[in-house]
Structure 1
Amino acid sequence: MEKSLQNKIFAITSQSELGRQLGKRPQTISVWFKKRVPAEWVVSMSKALGWKVTPHELRPDKYPNPTDALPPHKEYVA
């Protein structure tokens, strides 16, 4: 994961809090930051971050369009 995306996430919440919300250990979240978020956790992570980080930002390979997997009431703001 790019450092700029990590910084954006850390501006929203801590690694420990994100892990708590997702039912994962902070160490697991750390591995995701070093590598990438598993595809099956992307939407849950975006939701835990209040959709301030989109699935597209987390995994553009799985969600190629900026609005992919966003709930209907959310709009993408670059």
Structure 2
Amino acid sequence: MGIETHSETPLARAVRAAGSQSAFGRMIGRRQSTIFLWLNNDTPLPAELVLLVERETGISKHDLRPDIYPHAQASGMPVERTGVACNQPSISQRAPA
């Protein structure tokens, strides 16, 4: 029984889907000890492995790394960003008053 059996994190679910920490490690090219450390320290799955793990385990990339792959808003509209308005003329392009 591994540490992943007591956790509901997406990484733990992916490890369980693979069968064991060792099997998960073989699947992604990492040692079992690395997988244990990730689980024990709540380390996020490295970004370069997210799509592989999603494909092999069925655990969503949105769940594995929501900081990289956020869930779409319910409206389907893009997330509003604050910053420079690009649809306005710059000061140098404005007509003199």
Would the TM-score normalized by the shorter structure come out above 0.5? yes
1:47 matched to 2:60: no
1:4 matched to 2:12: no
Residue 33 of structure 2, aligned match among 27, 33, 49: 27
Structure with the larger RCO, 1 or 2 (CA within 8 Å, 6+ apart): 1
User: Distance between the aligned counterparts of 1:11 and 1:19, measured in 2?
Assistant: 12
Percentage of identical aligned residues: 34
Aligned structure 1 segments of 4 or more residues deviating by more than 4 angstroms: none
Contact 1:22 1:48 in 2 (8 A): no
Could you state the TM-score of these two structures normalised by the residue count of structure 2?
0.54
Could you state the TM-score of these two structures normalised by the residue count of structure 1?
0.65
1:46–1:65: structure 2 CA closer, same or farther, 3 Å change rule?
same
Structure 1 portions without partners, runs of 5+: 67-78
Structure showing greater Rg: 2
User: Distance between the aligned counterparts of 2:16 and 2:49, measured in 1?
Assistant: 20
User: Distance between the aligned counterparts of 1:29 and 1:54, measured in 2?
Assistant: 18
C-alpha RMSD of matched pairs (Å): 1.7
